[in-house]
Amino acid sequence: MLKEVYIFGPNGPDNEPIQIHHQKKTLVLQDGVKELVRSMAFFLIKSKMDVSFERMIMPKFSVFYSTSNGYSIFLVANVAESTEKMRSLMNDVRSLFSRFHRGGKVTNTEIPGFEGDLKRILHETLKVVFIGESAVGKTTCRMLLMGEKLPVRHKPTIGTGFSKLEFEDDVIVWDSPGQEGFEVMWPDIVKAADVIAVVCDSKQESLDKAKEIVEQCREWEPRAKIMAIANKQDRPDALPAEMVSDYLGIPTIPLTAVERYEQIKLVEAIKTALMRDDE
């Protein structure tokens, strides 16, 4: 997953990069990346090197870079990110940028309209989907994540629902219907998801179905990060999340979605899933 985009102008790294774009607000990188990228830009400018496309692998991330008319463009991504995907993204960013600066020198840090178009190229919004059998607590999880009033009774979800997270920009959270007959909608709901949270009620007898859903989701949206939620941990017979995780073979968090204080745990788990390198 792409994390950041930097573009340095021909005036060298003493200037601020003309565009620093933190792609996902949920994915703040560790300190030092900007410094690293800045010194690479300095090197490229000093040596007047023309680089069409290169990759540098660091312990926790990859840097893809390219130069164009004295400008250097850096894409910072997960360490396992596909080179081909980044190459094509680099071409898009490069042609967008050249369209904007039109050969002239850009001196300030803002180029009107550029950031909006960049976001569109990068598909900046993140899609999170809750999926699972009926009554396991998907709608409750979604409300918990959104910080909304939690439902007390089971009102089966008909169709789907999605809304934007308030405290993190550009995260769209989707609910799905678990009742029999609605499964036909699942492939469409899951399409283009960044994170799929398979919810189960932590009962032994529901694990086979949950496992089947995990496998289907892998097929429907191979690039999504899949995690599980072992919900209803307040129930005395709830299986521990470790057992659910062993059974499903994916990272699983224990949750009691009807408890408001669980919101932070859920947010953190989704962020962790997003950051995962699955490849």
Q: Which of 27, 29, 258, 275 binds ligand GTP (CB under 6 A)?
A: 258
C-alpha to C-alpha distance for 56 and 265, rounded to whole angstroms: 34
Stretch that binds Mg ion, among 50-58, 135-143, 229-237, 257-265 (CB under 5 A): 135-143
Stretch that binds ligand GTP, among 3-11, 119-127, 128-136, 209-217 (CB under 6 A): 128-136
Query: Binding of ligand GTP at residue 134 (CB under 6 A)?
Result: yes
- The item of ligand GTP, Mg ion, none sharing an interface with residue 215, based on CB under 5 to 8 Å by kind, is none
CB proximity list for 267: less than 8 A, separation 6 or greater: 145, 168
Binding mask 205-234 for ligand GTP (x = CB under 6 A): --------------------------xx-x
Residue numbers 157-216 binding Mg ion by CB under 5 A: 157
Instruction: Say if residues 81 and 62 touch (Cβ distance below 8 Å).
Output: yes
CB proximity list for 263: less than 8 A, separation 6 or greater: 144, 145, 147
- Compute and round to an integer the Cα radius of gyration of the chain: 22
**DSSP per-residue codes, 26-70:** T-PPPTTHHHHHHHHHHHHHHTT---S-EEEE-SSEEEEEEEETT
In order of 60, 62, 63, 141, the CA distances from 36 in angstroms are 13, 12, 10, 39
Beta carbon of residue 209, minimum distance to ligand GTP (angstroms, whole number): 12
Query: Binding of ligand GTP at residue 88 (CB under 6 A)?
Result: no
- The item of Mg ion, ligand GTP, none sharing an interface with residue 232, based on CB under 5 to 8 Å by kind, is ligand GTP
Q: Which of 62, 66, 72, 139 binds Mg ion (CB under 5 A)?
A: 139
- The item of ligand GTP, Mg ion, none sharing an interface with residue 264, based on CB under 5 to 8 Å by kind, is none
Residue numbers 149-188 binding ligand GTP by CB under 6 A: 151-154, 156-157, 177-179
Smaller CB distance to ligand GTP: residue 19 or 206? 206
Query: Binding of Mg ion at residue 140 (CB under 5 A)?
Result: no
Phi, psi of 89 (to 5 degrees): -65, -40
- The item of Mg ion, ligand GTP, none sharing an interface with residue 48, based on CB under 5 to 8 Å by kind, is none
SS (H, E, C) 120-148: HHHCCCEEEEEECCCCCCHHHHHHHHHCC
Give the single-character DSSP code of 216.
Answer: H
Beta carbon of residue 203, minimum distance to ligand GTP (angstroms, whole number): 12
Instruction: Say if residues 77 and 62 touch (Cβ distance below 8 Å).
Output: yes
| Residues making contact with Mg ion (CB under 5 A) | 138-139, 157
